[in-house]
Structure 1
Amino acid sequence: MGAHHLLHSICIAVSLGIAPQLAMSQSDLSGLKAAVDAAWQRSPRARTLEARLNEAQASREAAQSWIAGSPSIGIGQRSDRWTDGNGVRETEVSVSAPVWLPGQKSARQNLAQAGSEDLDAQLANARLALAGEVRERLWAVAAARESLAEAQDHLHHLEGLAEEVQLRVKAGDLARTDGMLAQQEVLAARAAASAARVREQEALMRYRNLTGQQDIPVPQPEPIAVAMREPHPRLLSAQTAVQQAQASFNVVNATRSDPPTIGLSMRQERDTYEADSSRSIAVAVQIPLGTRSRNRPLETAALTQIATANAEAAQTESALHAELDLARQQLAAAQDALDAAKARAELTREHTRLIDKAFRLGERGLADLLRSEALSHEAEVAVRQQQVAVGLAHARINQALGIIP
């Protein structure tokens, strides 16, 4: 299945399983984009890939040259001064260099270009992966803060209830055991709030380590993109890897032997002391002969690289389908769970209101009221957590679509 089929399937999935959304504007993701930019500046992988841009430029420049290696200069002299003494003298100066044949040069140029395109694709893919990390950690902080806020609200409510219970105990309306029970609930809520604060700090620390920002952007659900980014960074990275592997194989095929060497030499010679010196220029070409023992390992290594790149590209395409389908299901489930949590919270609030009224009239005990308060607290926590889950589900869909803030 090609990239166009993948795009068509993703568009269908979005239209069928996700509520229609307008295309994202730049302002919608400004806070998230700033966080991703900050994380990118701190990323070791980003620095490595950016440093390799100079390598890619150097490879392209080297591929433009016809010289296949370092040129060499030679100088030689022959004389019969220490033998016959007839005045024979010969001096030769030569320059030689290995050169690429036309097919070899073009193959190397294509390989350098493929390597540069693959590096560009790796940069986009690395930024997408980093955006996914930022999204996950941002919503982890948001979830932890919602839990902390609800725990603190619950604590404050129980503290107020405990004060009221103590007043009624002193007035003789309630038993002393009711006052002790209320204090126990306050202490438990205080411990829960402390634990929630620790979890919030841990989540914030992980976010700060990734981005360097002291706080997260306002956690708002991302507008869902109308279509997959074209080309998808992950799919493009896999495709350029295939192209680079094929270019490497073409270089091996074009370079069946070491490059030929062309040399130019000038010779000055004299037969006797009385004879005039003569000069001559020579051109030499050396053509290495390729052998099967030399080429076969290179060919098999290149073919292995092509097979690996093709398999990884196919796996990437399949994974994109699966991840988008999973993200769509997670959003639907999160939305359903949010609706159910809201309905439950409404019922528990009404139930608690009735129990509280009965408690104040002396018709229900404190244990019934505390149990109802606990159920109401759980329901409120569930609503807040599901709101965060919906926001995270939006982010995961955009991540699967390849949207980079």
Structure 2
Amino acid sequence: MRACRLSLCIAGAAIFLPCLAVAAPFAPVTGATLKTVIENAWARSAQVSTLEARQEEAAAARSTARSWIAGSPTLSLSQRNDRSPSQREQRESELSLSAPVWLPGQKTTREAWAARSSEEVSAQLLQARLAVAGEVRIRLWEAAAAREVLAEKDDHLHHMEQLAAAVARRVRAGDLARSDGLLAQQEVHAAQVDVALARTRAAEALARYRVLTGFPDLPSLEPEPLRDVAEPVNARLAAARATVSRAQAGLRMAEAARGAPPSFAVSLRHEQERNLGEPNRSIGIALQIPLGSEARNRPAETLARTQIATAAADAAQAEASVALDASLAQEQLANAQAALDAATSRATALHEYRSLIENAFRLGERGLAEVLRANALTHEADVAVRQQRVALGLAHAQLNQARGILP
């Protein structure tokens, strides 16, 4: 009966034995902060080159829009000689320079469109940077959670090995049956398998973090501070609104460009005739105004209106999504804090309970099964506290991400 009871204790310990004792949060190997990690991830992002090229493109468009010339100037040279039998020997040379020029309304709308395009690229740059920060936050806390699981499995294996060693000594002393020793040993093997799987998952999570950030290890895992003051508009929402503004400016530009830009030309003519002593020089000015129509420009205006409708729909969806994400993140933070408080209170109570059971066991008032169960419950509560600390850190990061806050 004694051997049977102890076998049940061993089986119970294998089920309820703790995965991890309380320990301080793991310290970073490098001196990196979350801000430097995100900056490094941004520098490694493939979006940097694309967005920088678009910034240069927008700057070039703004520079072009400031010019009154609507296209490349044209320089022409012509010469005419009189080959008739009149013996006048008339010769004529003409040099002209022409260029299309914007009308005041066309130039203003193009400048406005170029400015809105530049603002759109800047907003998209901030949006992309926020997206990279969100990915870093996810990878960071994913790796932290995987490390917690590995630490739990390691601690579980350590306790199983200690228990198996104690049982083996009693089997050799004849106090327990060999079946009890085999039962304890198989629990050790099961714990070893769990550790190997957890180590693989932790390595995979850390590898994804390293590929994204370029840092070998995690920074300090203290929860991100939350700001109570009013924050600027979320970068995602700002980018959507900037796209709407750019599309509206595009419509105004299309409406102002119903006709092609007029061309202005200046010419210098030199005429010389044998019978005239002095050559004749003259200066000419020409202006060509193309006649546009609403039908000619209707496709461009329709396309601009379509872009406005699409951008407005995207902006409305982004606004609803940003508000929902912030509300959900706030609720998750409250739930994570409540769970941590409850887990901490439970762990405090169970530590006191274990102390009382161990004292009673030393006095012979309690059995071994109660001591094992008290230890298992206490360690389980300690593990829950550490897991909830990770969940709280992730909740802080998600709330800052939903609000569009960069560290």
Q: TM-score range by the shorter chain?
A: 0.7 to 0.9
Distance 1:168 1:346, change over 3 A: farther
Q: Partner of 1:189 in structure 2? A: 191
Partner SS for 1:150? helix
Specify every segment of 5 or more residues in structure 2 that has no aligned partner in the other structure, as ranges.
Answer: 1-30
**One-letter identity of the residue aligned with 1:76:** S
Alignment of 1:116-265 (within 5 A): 116-265=118-267
Report SS of the residue matched to 2:194. helix
Question: In structure 2, do the counterparts of structure 1 residues 196 and 379 end up closer, same or farther at CA, with 3 Å as the change threshold?
Answer: farther
Residue 117 of structure 1 aligns to a residue in which SS? helix
Task: Give the Å deviation of 1:350.
Answer: 7.6
Residues 1:83 and 1:291: Cα distance change in structure 2 (over 3 Å) = farther
User: Identity over the aligned pairs, expressed in percent?
Assistant: 55
Q: Counterpart of 1:383 in structure 2: which amino acid?
A: V
Deviations 1:336-370 (A, max 9, x none): 33344445556777888899999999999999988
The residue number in structure 1 matching 2:53 is: 51
Measured in 1, the distance between the counterparts of 2:357 and 2:182 equals 20
C-alpha separation in 2, matches of 1:83 and 1:175: 137
Shift of residue 154, structure 1, vs aligned partner:
1.1
Q: 1:151 to 1:270 in 2, by over 3 A?
A: same
Distance 1:50 1:267 in 2: 49
Note the C-alpha offset of 1:383: 3.1
Q: Equivalent residue of 1:290, what SS?
A: coil
Distance in 2 (CA, whole Å) between partners of 1:397 and 1:200 is 25
Query: Do the aligned residues in 2 keep the contact of 1:95 with 1:264 (CA within 8 Å)?
Result: yes
Residues 153 and 269 from structure 1, CA distance in 2 versus in 1: closer, same or farther, beyond 3 angstroms? same
Tell which deviates more after alignment, 164-173 or 111-120: 111-120
Indicate how the Cα distance of structure 1 residues 398 and 193 shifts in structure 2: closer, same or farther if over 3 A, else same: same
Distance of 2:165 and 2:355 partners within structure 1: 18
Deviations 1:258-304 (A, max 9, x none): 11000011111234455642111110011111123321001011111
Residue 38 of structure 2, aligned match among 29, 36, 39: 36
Q: Is the 8 A contact 1:227 1:401 kept in 2?
A: no
> Which shows bigger deviation, 83-92 or 343-352?
343-352
Aligned partner of 2:328 in structure 1 is: 326
Task: Tell me how far apart the structure 1 counterparts of residues 87 and 336 of structure 2 sit (CA, whole Å).
Answer: 102
The TM-score normalised by the length of structure 2 is 0.84
CA distance in 2 between counterparts of 1:117 and 1:101 reads 24
TM-score of the superposition, structure 1-length normalised? 0.84
Q: Partner letter of residue 141 of structure 1?
A: A
Q: Secondary structure at the match of 2:33?
A: helix
Higher mean alpha-carbon deviation, 78-87 vs 224-233, is at 78-87
Q: Are residues 1:314 and 2:316 paired?
A: yes
**Are residues 253 and 98 of structure 1, via their aligned partners in 2, closer, same or farther at CA, if it must alter by over 3 Å?**
same
Residue 200 of structure 1: SS of its match in structure 2? helix
8 Å CA contact 1:154, 1:377 repeated in 2: no
Cα distance in 1 for residues equivalent to 2:317 and 2:169: 68
Matched position secondary structure for 1:91: strand
Secondary structure of 1:35 counterpart: helix
2: CA distance, partners of 1:361 / 1:305: 82
Deviation by residue 1:133-179 (Cα, 9 ceiling, x = unmatched): 11111111111111111111111111111111000011111111110
Superimposed CA distance per residue, residues 43-76 of structure 1 (whole angstroms, 9 cap, x where no aligned partner): 1112221232222222221111111100001111
CA apart distance, 1:180: 0.5
What displacement does 1:83 show?
7.0
Give, as a single letter, the amino acid of the residue that structure 2 aligns with 1:133.
E
Between stretches 256-265 and 79-88, larger displacement belongs to: 79-88
Change over 3 Å in CA distance of 1:112–1:127 after alignment to 2: same
Match of 2:23 in 1: none
Q: What's the secondary structure of 2:80's corresponding residue?
A: strand
Shift of the alpha carbon at 1:209? 0.8
Secondary structure of the 1:258 match is coil
Q: What is the rounded CA distance, in whole Å, between the counterparts of 1:361 and 1:165 in structure 2?
A: 22
SS of 1:213's partner is: coil
AA partner of residue 259 (structure 2)? S
User: Are 1:150 and 1:380, in contact at CA under 8 Å, matched by a contact in 2?
Assistant: no
SS in 2 for 1:259: coil
Paired residue for 1:293, among 285, 292, 295? Answer: 295
Instruction: List alignment gaps of at least 5 residues for structure 1.
Output: 1-28
Q: How big is each residue's C-alpha offset from its partner over 1:8-46, in whole Å with a ceiling of 9 and x where there is no partner?
A: xxxxxxxxxxxxxxxxxxxxx971101111101101112
- Give the CA RMSD over aligned residues: 3.0
For 1:337-352, list aligned pairs within 5 A. Answer: 337-342=339-344
Aligned length: 377
